[in-house]
Structure 1
Amino acid sequence: MPLSRFTVLDLTRVRSGPLAVRQLADWGANVIKIEPPEAIDGSKGMGGERDGSDFQNTHRNKRGITLNLKVPEGRELFYSLVAKADVVAENYRPDVKQRLGIDYVNLKGINKRIVLASISGFGQSGPYARRPGFDQIAQGMGGLMSVTGLPGQGPIRAGIPVADLSAGLYAAIGILIALLERENSGEGQWVHTSLLEAQIAMMDFQATRWLIDKDRPGQAGNNHPTSIPTGLFRANDGMLNLAGGGETMWRRICEALELGDVLSRSDFSTEGLRSQNRDSLNAILQERFITNSVGYWVERLNAAGVPCGPVYGVDDMFADQHVAALDMRLPVDHTRLGKLDLLRSPVSMSRGKRQARATPERGQHTDEVLNEFGFTAEKIAALRAQDVV
């Protein structure tokens, strides 16, 4: 498999870190998920119930071992794994890695080729570095909540954990860059990002509107902040999503909706004027859309080359014939939970094959993995007796 030559030691929890590692695991990396032994930590841990859909989707394609990093014997065992690994991934608060002795300086002394990937709430330095991080806090501080929702409604959280997910994706990209660079230098390096940095980066054009133009973006609801007409309209059986910015799209919309008189109006003659008069323009379009069904308008507008589509709930989404053709499900067989449908990676390759293995039980592969790293059955038994593994 594409990444099968790489071994990743996964110390991550909750979402951002596990998501980063999962990008590698899906494409065959030898990911070893490390958790504390149940004897010293019987809690469900962070990240939700182990049998829950979220946990099962997030930690797939990994092998699981238990290891107590809080005792010297556990750290020494971990160092022996580091000596043969390629990547260590963690998302503790910055000071925790120093307390556990798994900071980059220590790991580099064991294996100069190791890549340490760290995700935190606010970065590895700065006034807020030691604050606990959470997705919704990053959404608020990173500007996303200020541009989400209806005008005047007040800040609104996005419906998915944007900061967590984007931090995980950026970390995965950073890991791959470091592994590629290592082919030239022969050395690993420390890769780090944070929920706040990732959220700010995801603000993209909204952020640069301020940086370059000093234009402070606000809430635009379902209207696009700069592309008109783009937004939601009610058909006679549901909601229609329309994206029609630019002169060409504007002409196509008017022709498809048979609104030639609107096309010739001076108050809609430029995109700037359409933006300025968006309320009256949207009212005209709404009056036309309500006369027929979502399916009718989707077919008619797409035939005219105008991007549009229905607004789905998750159940409707998976029932769509095109989503079914894309085959976004990842079926796995769990030893205890049976057959599960997870979400596959959205990346496809002409030769690369994805992995499809269920999330491991806690410590399911401890003996198997330690044996691969040179530990005898007697040594593993002794470590287990000491609650090290």
Structure 2
Amino acid sequence: MTTIPRRSTSQLMPSLNIAPSSQGPLRGITVVELGHSVAAPYAGQVLADLGARVIKVENPQAGDYARGWGPPYWGGAATIFTALNRGKESVTVDFSVAEEAARLRKLIVDEADAVIQNLRPNLLSKFGLGAEDLMSLKPSLIWCDIGAFGSVGPMKEKPGYDPLVQASAGIMSITGEADRPPVRVGVSIVDMGTALWAVIGLLAALVGRRGDGAGRNIGTSLYETGVAWMTVPLAGYLATGELRKPQGSGSAEIVPYQVFATATGAVMIAAGNDRLFAKLVAALGIADLADNAELRTNAGRVKHRDLVINTIMAVLADRPLEDVCAALDHAGVPNSPLLDVAGVADSEQTKALGMLTPCAEDTLPLVGTPITFDGVRYRSDSKAPGLGQHNPDHWPAGISAPAD
């Protein structure tokens, strides 16, 4: 992988216009997040960046589990927590204390437009804080339930984490290289994808409520998200009955569409159609490959995958990465050097888009929400809260004091 030399954080100033979340399209909306780990917190952070007031409710003993998922740590909490909880308020509630549960119930009924939760199934109902309890008191409330394996079926009570669903939804079976052990996608793609479905459902419910004034009980789960990520592989299997092996960096359906080694680094080449394949082989000086009638179509190239891949590998092995990328750019062939995490952090494209920006009272650059409105990226300017930092004075004595 290619690493771009380190720059100071002062050099990561964005070219895109960044605006405070207080000006965002969801200003005036209040969301209560009864969540932990990744899925609900990421959904809450997206909503906070878009302008919603997000009140994060945590256990007074230890708070969100992710606070302890380190090292590394930043400001007393694991960086995974710091990265997923920007722009929120933190209050602590012990559900088992009737007075505290009652105050949380009142907060939701009086102030919340929506609730996002990913706690254990039926846990909140034990304390009169479930969807039916609260929506009966406030029919306009939008409730978003993020589950593990869905609300019905034989696995509905089973606890779930991202890697469990990567395994059970088939994602691991198509990730990695053929005839080698299964590989997990290196980021929490199921958790974060589920968070986005939750946000989509919540936004749709907000639009619907403008018409009829009614709330909605939205449901999504890690397993449903995992199966949704498998849309294309499942379609291929159900059409043919064929179980395709993992393709490493490549694609089962498109050739050439993978990473190739050069003399000084690796490059991803995506020749996604016949025209691009012709441009690719011409740029690499192997135009005779395109003269082979069996290789003129993608179907033929998939059939003769080894011939195509091995020929390109041999041509690129002794050429510098920079020369390869320049030749492919000139020919109009989609390509990208393979960057590591440091390379992405220091990329001029990352900088231009303003994707890494520290909060106002902090120095750690954090990834912004990947959406703009009229060329403006909204993001919350306050860092992840300390446990119970926003506990109001009138909360019960059993709730922990605000963090320093």
Same structural fold, with TM-score higher than 0.5 when normalized by the shorter chain: yes
More displaced 10-residue stretch of structure 1: 283-292 or 267-276: 267-276
CA spacing shift, 1:217–1:388, aligned 2, 3 Å: same
2:90 corresponds to: 64
TM-superposed deviation, 1:216:
2.9
TM-superposed deviation, 1:387:
4.2
2:370 corresponds to: 346
2:268 corresponds to: 241
CA spacing shift, 1:124–1:97, aligned 2, 3 Å: farther
1:86 corresponds to: 113
Secondary structure of 1:119 counterpart: strand
Is 1:102 the equivalent of 2:136? Answer: no
Counterpart-to-counterpart distance in 1, 2:128 and 2:240:
46
Superposition pairs for residues 74-153 of structure 1, below 5 Å? 74-84=100-110, 85-153=112-180
1:301 corresponds to: 328
CA spacing shift, 1:352–1:234, aligned 2, 3 Å: closer
Counterpart-to-counterpart distance in 1, 2:280 and 2:359:
44
Secondary structure of 2:31 counterpart: strand
TM-superposed deviation, 1:94:
1.6
Contact 2:270/2:334 (CA < 8 Å) preserved in 1? Answer: yes
Contact 1:332/1:339 (CA < 8 Å) preserved in 2? Answer: yes
* CA deviation string 1:117-168 (max 9, x = no partner): 1111111222111111111110011110000011111321111111111111
Counterpart-to-counterpart distance in 2, 1:46 and 1:229:
43
Counterpart-to-counterpart distance in 2, 1:183 and 1:108:
17
Contact 1:95/1:130 (CA < 8 Å) preserved in 2? Answer: no
Contact 1:19/1:168 (CA < 8 Å) preserved in 2? Answer: yes
TM-superposed deviation, 1:109:
1.3
More displaced 10-residue stretch of structure 1: 171-180 or 43-52: 43-52
Contact 2:63/2:92 (CA < 8 Å) preserved in 1? Answer: no
* CA deviation string 1:199-250 (max 9, x = no partner): 1111121122223444433311122111111111111101111001321011
CA spacing shift, 1:159–1:348, aligned 2, 3 Å: same
TM-superposed deviation, 1:48:
3.6
1:27 corresponds to: 50
Contact 1:10/1:34 (CA < 8 Å) preserved in 2? Answer: yes
Secondary structure of 1:34 counterpart: strand
Is 1:188 the equivalent of 2:215? Answer: yes
CA spacing shift, 1:364–1:48, aligned 2, 3 Å: closer
Counterpart-to-counterpart distance in 1, 2:182 and 2:320:
33
Is 1:54 the equivalent of 2:80? Answer: yes
TM-superposed deviation, 1:324:
2.0
Amino acid at match of 1:66: T
Counterpart-to-counterpart distance in 1, 2:182 and 2:378:
42
Superposition pairs for residues 167-182 of structure 1, below 5 Å? 167-182=194-209
TM-superposed deviation, 1:251:
0.7
Secondary structure of 1:241 counterpart: strand
Secondary structure of 1:33 counterpart: strand
Higher relative contact order (CA 8 A, sep 6+): 2
RMSD: 1.7
Alignment identity in percent?
A: 27
Secondary structure of 2:80 counterpart: helix
CA spacing shift, 1:121–1:291, aligned 2, 3 Å: same
Counterpart-to-counterpart distance in 1, 2:44 and 2:233:
29
2:350 corresponds to: 323
Secondary structure of 1:94 counterpart: coil
Is 1:360 the equivalent of 2:385? Answer: yes
Secondary structure of 1:315 counterpart: helix
2:36 corresponds to: 13
More displaced 10-residue stretch of structure 1: 105-114 or 215-224: 215-224
Contact 1:330/1:356 (CA < 8 Å) preserved in 2? Answer: no
Counterpart-to-counterpart distance in 2, 1:316 and 1:147:
27
Amino acid at match of 2:33: D
1:374 corresponds to: none
Secondary structure of 2:301 counterpart: helix
TM-superposed deviation, 1:44:
5.8
TM-superposed deviation, 1:323:
2.1
Counterpart-to-counterpart distance in 1, 2:289 and 2:103:
73
Counterpart-to-counterpart distance in 2, 1:240 and 1:279:
18
Contact 1:146/1:154 (CA < 8 Å) preserved in 2? Answer: no
Counterpart-to-counterpart distance in 1, 2:279 and 2:36:
49
TM-score by length of 1: 0.90
Is 1:161 the equivalent of 2:161? Answer: no
Unaligned runs of 5+ in 2: 1-22, 69-75
Counterpart-to-counterpart distance in 1, 2:231 and 2:153:
23
CA spacing shift, 1:243–1:388, aligned 2, 3 Å: closer
- The size of the alignment, in residue pairs, is 369
- Moved beyond 4 Å, runs of 4+: 386-389
Contact 1:28/1:355 (CA < 8 Å) preserved in 2? Answer: yes
TM-superposed deviation, 1:5:
1.2
2:5 corresponds to: none
Is 1:287 the equivalent of 2:310? Answer: no
